Structure 1
Amino acid sequence: MFTDHDLAQVLDLVRLAGEREIFPRFRRFDAPDVVEKKSSIDLVTDADLKTEAYLTTELLARWPGAVVVGEEACEGNPGLIGALADAELAFVIDPVDGTFNFQAGLPVFGTNVAVVRRGETIGALIHDSVLGDTLLAIKGAGARWLRPGGAEAGIRVAAPTELSRMVGTISINDISQEERRRIAGNLAQTRMAFAYNCSAYEYWLVATGKVHFIGHHKLMPWDHLAGVLLHQEAGGVTKKFDGSPYLPGETTGGILSAPDQESWDMILSRVVMAG
């Protein structure tokens, strides 16, 4: 079993990584080293690379034989994602989710870690290395918000409401111009649409009930596995657009998180799919 104690050890490592590798590089007077991966909004920095390297080394030292699937490692070896379906124990890492915001000096980024056992996500955390706060969940045990001083509280998704009173977002960065226009128009039915270009913060907001829904077309495990478990353990419904559960290793199909099944159906039909 992977226990609360084990996840607390992972959180200790993530906190140290944030203190050592992320926060000292945030808002530096000298510009951090930035490399474009695929475009001007798909970036990698020293903080990404050094944080992932540190966490990979430390996790394997504590759990020898585990599989570590990091976003940056998968740039060179995409086949690592396939190991998530059968691995006895795997850790999925996004060292700095929201790198565009990080390099721009915006404190809207986080570190995502999901724990996967035999194709099922069993533990998750999202850590904010600026404020020191963390969302943490173990499958079947609920989700919690931890503060640096030790205070903590359970979290809960927003109450269902009509679409015109909802706040949410559907990420449109990875779809065609025509599809962007269609979905942006559909979002006008809501009270407010937002976009942070950061899955960590979007899942943070939807899992803590600050917004009602989020959706994405691009499915990479380091962006979604931790957030999906946190949202589900906070009482929400997250599924792929076709209604199937989102499983480790899947990278296609689109995903939607909502307060309950009725809300999920409504948002899918009126925002994601409506012409």
Structure 2
Amino acid sequence: MEKVAEILAEASAEAVEPRFRALAAGEVMEKAPGDVVTVADREAEAIISRRLRELLPVPVVGEEAVAADPALARALHNERACWLVDPVDGTANFIAGRPDFAVMASLVRDGEAVAAWIWQPMRRTAYAAELGAGTWRNGRPLTRQPAGPDPARWRGSAKSYLRLGRFPGLADEPTAFGELTTGRRSAGMEYPQIVDDELDFLVYWRTLPWDHAPGSLLVREAGGVSARLDGSPYRADPPGGEDGLLVACDPQTWERARAILLGLEG
């Protein structure tokens, strides 16, 4: 667990942090329409991928490698084990000079994340989780307390586009929830807000595996829930699979938030 955390921090120090607010002309590219990448993403992923394979020689499913060759994501279903890597989660923030970005990795076995790491370089904060063993922040164990029964006191996050018909419970103002933000444009910043008792629930639609496998394990091992809207636990599936994900700090909050979001409460 400690070795992977070191790999992420060292790759960040070498390839990412020196370019924060210092990207040169030509170091930001478009990998798909409306989807940008930087040399920092690519260099960090290359460093992390090489070192993870030295640690455990299984396939690496990296966000930037999959952008170049989508077939690589099949390893999540076809291989017994593989690494997942997101070298700069929150690239748009990184490009804009905002500190809300993270470096993430997870180890997946038979489609389930069994270990996860999130490094937040600008906060110098490391999160880790291991299936059946718990969640840690900077080496100290974390357990999240329940949110309580009153939704009017809950703090949540949902992207603004999710208010446009997918979730009836988000359509009206005010919502049933006490506080609802539009997020920080980085799953690696948002999931830790659950375990740090800054948010009580998160709502996502698009669920790329490198974005959501690390945080989902982090939350579950701290006592929370990360599940599809039908109640099935989140799994690290290749892109193009099922959409929609609700994350909450405890099972009761997950059930009640789902009912409100889907308009099932009168």
Per the normalisation by structure 2, the TM-score is 0.90
Alpha-carbon shift at residue 81 of structure 1 (Å) = 2.1
What is the correspondence of 1:18-33 to structure 2 with a 5 Å cutoff?
A: 18-28=12-22, 30=24, 33=27
Q: C-alpha separation between the residues in 2 aligned to 1:244 and 1:88?
A: 21
Alpha-carbon shift at residue 58 of structure 1 (Å) = 1.5
| DSSP 3-state at the match of 1:214 | strand
Alpha-carbon shift at residue 44 of structure 1 (Å) = 0.8
Q: Cα deviations across residues 89-118 of structure 1 (Å, max 9, x unaligned)?
A: 211011100111111111001011111122
Equivalent position of 2:146 in the other structure: 159
Alpha-carbon shift at residue 142 of structure 1 (Å) = 0.6
Q: C-alpha separation between the residues in 2 aligned to 1:187 and 1:239?
A: 25
Q: C-alpha separation between the residues in 2 aligned to 1:247 and 1:167?
A: 25
Q: C-alpha separation between the residues in 1 aligned to 2:228 and 2:131?
A: 19
| Structure 2: runs of 5+ lacking an equivalent | none
Matched, 1:107 2:99: yes
| DSSP 3-state at the match of 2:172 | helix
Q: C-alpha separation between the residues in 2 aligned to 1:46 and 1:180?
A: 37
Matched, 1:137 2:148: no
Q: Is contact 1:186-1:271 (8 Å) kept?
A: no
Equivalent position of 1:270 in the other structure: 260
| DSSP 3-state at the match of 2:2 | helix
Using the aligned pairs only, state the percent identity.
Answer: 30
Per the normalisation by structure 1, the TM-score is 0.87
Question: Using a 3 Å threshold, how does the CA distance of structure 1 residues 187 and 100 change in structure 2: closer, same or farther?
Answer: farther
Question: Using a 3 Å threshold, how does the CA distance of structure 1 residues 182 and 213 change in structure 2: closer, same or farther?
Answer: closer
RMSD over equivalenced CA pairs, Å: 2.3
Alpha-carbon shift at residue 28 of structure 1 (Å) = 1.3
Alpha-carbon shift at residue 32 of structure 1 (Å) = 6.8
Residue identity in the other structure for 1:211 = L
What is the correspondence of 1:254-269 to structure 2 with a 5 Å cutoff?
A: 254-269=244-259
Alpha-carbon shift at residue 197 of structure 1 (Å) = 1.0
Alpha-carbon shift at residue 75 of structure 1 (Å) = 0.9
Matched, 1:54 2:41: no
Matched, 1:203 2:170: no
Q: C-alpha separation between the residues in 1 aligned to 2:262 and 2:95?
A: 31
Equivalent position of 1:89 in the other structure: 81
How many residues align? The count is: 261
